[in-house]
C-alpha cells in the first residue's frame, strides 16, 4: 500500500484541507482501514482500488466510514493523475 498526504483547495504548502490517500491493490478489511484512519488522525482518509478500468473510492474518518468526502476525492484524483495515470485525460 502506498499512502500520500495531500492538501486540497490550496496552492500553498501546509494549507487547505488535509487528507490521506491510500492506493491499494485490493480492498483491506474494514477494521484495518478504520485503524489506518485512526492512526492518520486526519478528518478523512481516502482508500482507492482500481478494478478493471474504474477506480473505486471509500472514505473513512477516525470514527467511521462515511458516504462521501469532496476534498479527499479531489486529493485522490491529484494522486492518481500525478503518479498512476500520468497520460490520462479523465479518470472514472
Q: CB–CB of 48/55 below 8 Å?
A: yes
Q: Which of 44, 51, 65, 85 is catalytic?
A: 44
Cell 500553498, residue located: 12
Instruction: Tell me, yes or no, if 39 is annotated catalytic.
Output: no
Q: CB–CB of 22/37 below 8 Å?
A: no
Cell 477506480, residue located: 55
Catalytic residue numbers, as ranges: 44
Amino acid at each position: 500500500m502506498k499512502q500520500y498526504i495531500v492538501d486540497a483547495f490550496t496552492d500553498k504548502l501546509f494549507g487547505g484541507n488535509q487528507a490521506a490517500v491510500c492506493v491499494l491493490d485490493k480492498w483491506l478489511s474494514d477494521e484495518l482501514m478504520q485503524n489506518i484512519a485512526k492512526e492518520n488522525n486526519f478528518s478523512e482518509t481516502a482508500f482507492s482500488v482500481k478494478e478493471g478500468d474504474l477506480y473505486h473510492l471509500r472514505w473513512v474518518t477516525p470514527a467511521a466510514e462515511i458516504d462521501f468526502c469532496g476534498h479527499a476525492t479531489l486529493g485522490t484524483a491529484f494522486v492518481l493523475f500525478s503518479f498512476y495515470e500520468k497520460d490520462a485525460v479523465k479518470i472514472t
